[in-house]
Structure 1
Amino acid sequence: MGTVFSFDVRGGEPEAVRAALAAAVAELHVVDEVFSTYRPDSQISRLAQGVLTVDECDPEVAEVLELCAEAERLSDGWFSSTYAGSVDPTGIVKGWSVERAALLLVEAGASGVSVNGGGDVQMYGVPGPHRPWRVGVADPLRPGGLAAVVSAAGVDRLAVATSGSAERGTHIVDPRTGRSAVTDLVAVTVVGPRITWADAWATAAFAMGSREGLAWLESLPDVEALLITAGDEVRCTGGLADRLG
């Protein structure tokens, strides 16, 4: 998937947790082999080429494409699973794979799990007694600085995803034009229960721009967000303050 994954796992029976961690890492490698658009032999590349059908792919391919279709419907087309006319579920695969990896560790009995995939984080439980998970949100206009710190205090699971142009340039596509999104935003951070959706919503909202993106994010249940414009204006959803700390 072209990014780095990190794990912070607390509690649980050591042998069971170690086995689950090994299984999670192995699963991430499989996801890369199946879904990488940079590998001409991956199932998603061969599906795009017309060499394979969805039914001939692993069941996870159909699952991811269904999630993409749901994201496209809920975002009124601002999230898209196609690029240059070919199937490309990249916008949801990373978050989906992070969430799956975290769940493997939770199911193995870990009391606290944080999985970070390229800056998109899924958290479960707590890292210690009376200590919530906390995630720093990088300031896209001030390298090395923080725009906010998100806290998972009071909830059993929380996800934080950021999409923007500060680190990777203009890589987000406007589905209406098929070209790089022209927007007043430099970053959108979405906070919600599941990283699968937080990642997709951050991408869609970035393509929308600050005004439409903020209004749409406000309409989504259990979602809060922080948007930063190229003019250094910070906009956020009404309940975001409750998740900072």
Structure 2
Amino acid sequence: MTGGAVWRFDAIGTVWEVETRHPLTDAARAEVAARIDDFDAVWSRFRPDSVVSRLAYEGGAMPAPADAVAMLDAYAELSRATEGAVNPLVGESLARRGYDATYSFVDRGAAPAPGEWREIVRWSDTALEVRTPALLDVGALGKGRLVDLVAETLTPWAGDGLVVDAGGDLFVRGAPQRVGLEHPYDPRRAIGIVEVTDAALCASATNRRAWADGLHHVLDARTGEPVRSIVATWAIAPTAMRADAAATALFFDGGPALAHEWGAEWVRMTSDGRVEWSPGSEAELFT
């Protein structure tokens, strides 16, 4: 957005950039900060005082948090499409591999997430229940959901000129944005460029949040092992939550079909360097 005002800040472990036509007021910034903190206080498995941390220790039922239905309904679709590879109870599996609340990065071995997670986690418009203690992890789509919430919060101030970028998860309203698709093996290079207009682009790669000998944050919930065949994904959808979820699903068989069902465009790179893309994708890919 040429000539716009940019607000940069840190939140939920990443750098955010919000670009608007005019500088945001202090009231707008305070409302964004409160929205992010409210979300983090419920869903962060890295905070000992969060709702999901309490449910991991105690289980039980509570009034449904504001985003529970939207996110868990999407998880149900993700789980179905990937035959259980994506599962919101993968939190303990990630913690065992070292991606825990203290960021120990000490691998204690693979462990699958509970396969019948829908028997453990129940939700409705009024209640969220974790029937036995279990660690919810919304990483497959949570940051995208929060990007949508921030964009929604800023609508009264920003109008039709808004870009929200949370560490590469991008929501655009108004002027088109050309975005480079970072090469997962060389961050100085791009494998292509895509234009985003009135939509969201989310990316995921196994070189981000990686540690030890080949461990990273994208696990197959059925085994607790990191994904090896796909190394990077990009998805464009009407909302950042769906783009984020599609980018996660694309690491597994069934991801392209779900993206098609949701009307999401996508690109992904395999571990041997091949690039695949959705029919009708308008990404400009380099040879």
Q: Does 1:53 align with 2:64?
A: no
In the TM superposition, what is the alpha-carbon distance from 1:82 to its structure 2 partner?
Answer: 0.8
Q: Structure 1 length normalisation: TM-score?
A: 0.81
Q: Does 1:26 align with 2:34?
A: yes
Aligned to 2:183: 139
In structure 2, stretches of 5+ residues that fail to align are 1-11, 93-113, 115-133, 211-215
In the TM superposition, what is the alpha-carbon distance from 1:70 to its structure 2 partner?
Answer: 3.9
Contact kept in structure 1, 2:19 and 2:164, CA below 8 Å? yes
Could you say what secondary structure the match of 2:171 adopts? Answer: strand
Contact kept in structure 1, 2:250 and 2:268, CA below 8 Å? no
CA RMSD of aligned residues (A): 2.4
Q: Does 1:197 align with 2:242?
A: yes
| 2:206 counterpart (155, 165, 185) | 165
Contact kept in structure 2, 1:172 and 1:207, CA below 8 Å? no
| 2:151 counterpart (102, 106, 110) | 102
| 1:8 counterpart (6, 19, 23) | 19
- Name the CA distance, whole Å, in 1 between partners of 2:65 and 2:272: 45
Could you say what secondary structure the match of 2:141 adopts? Answer: helix
Q: 1:99-148, CA deviations, whole angstroms, 9 ceiling, x for partnerless residues?
A: 1101221233422111111211111112xxxxx22222211122211122
Which structure has more helix as a fraction of its residues? 1
Q: 1:193-217, CA deviations, whole angstroms, 9 ceiling, x for partnerless residues?
A: 1110111111121143xxx544x25
* Shift in alpha-carbon separation, 1:218–1:52, aligned structure 2, 3 A: closer
Aligned residues: 227
Contact kept in structure 2, 1:217 and 1:225, CA below 8 Å? no
Contact kept in structure 1, 2:20 and 2:158, CA below 8 Å? no
Q: Does 1:219 align with 2:260?
A: yes
* Shift in alpha-carbon separation, 1:89–1:172, aligned structure 2, 3 A: same
Could you say what secondary structure the match of 1:231 adopts? Answer: coil
| 1:72 counterpart (72, 76, 79) | 79
Q: Does 1:233 align with 2:240?
A: no
- Name the CA distance, whole Å, in 1 between partners of 2:20 and 2:83: 37
* Shift in alpha-carbon separation, 1:49–1:66, aligned structure 2, 3 A: farther
Could you say what secondary structure the match of 1:232 adopts? Answer: coil
Contact kept in structure 2, 1:6 and 1:116, CA below 8 Å? yes
Aligned to 1:129: none
In the TM superposition, what is the alpha-carbon distance from 1:52 to its structure 2 partner?
Answer: 4.8
* Shift in alpha-carbon separation, 1:171–1:213, aligned structure 2, 3 A: same
- Name the CA distance, whole Å, in 2 between partners of 1:244 and 1:51: 48
| 2:49 counterpart (41, 61, 82) | 41
Q: Structure 2 length normalisation: TM-score?
A: 0.70
| 2:89 counterpart (82, 100, 119) | 82
Which structure has more strand as a fraction of its residues? 2
- Name the CA distance, whole Å, in 1 between partners of 2:16 and 2:181: 17
* Shift in alpha-carbon separation, 1:171–1:22, aligned structure 2, 3 A: same
- Name the CA distance, whole Å, in 2 between partners of 1:225 and 1:93: 19
| 1:150 counterpart (194, 207, 221) | 194
Q: Please give the residue correspondences for 1:179-190 in structure 2 after superposition, counting only pairs within 5 Å.
A: 179-181=225-227, 183-190=228-235
Q: 1:82-108, CA deviations, whole angstroms, 9 ceiling, x for partnerless residues?
A: 123532222221110011101221233
- Name the CA distance, whole Å, in 2 between partners of 1:61 and 1:220: 22
Could you say what secondary structure the match of 1:20 adopts? Answer: helix
- Name the CA distance, whole Å, in 2 between partners of 1:4 and 1:42: 21
| 1:91 counterpart (125, 133, 140) | 140
> Amino acid of the residue matched to residue 165 of structure 1?
T
Contact kept in structure 1, 2:82 and 2:252, CA below 8 Å? no
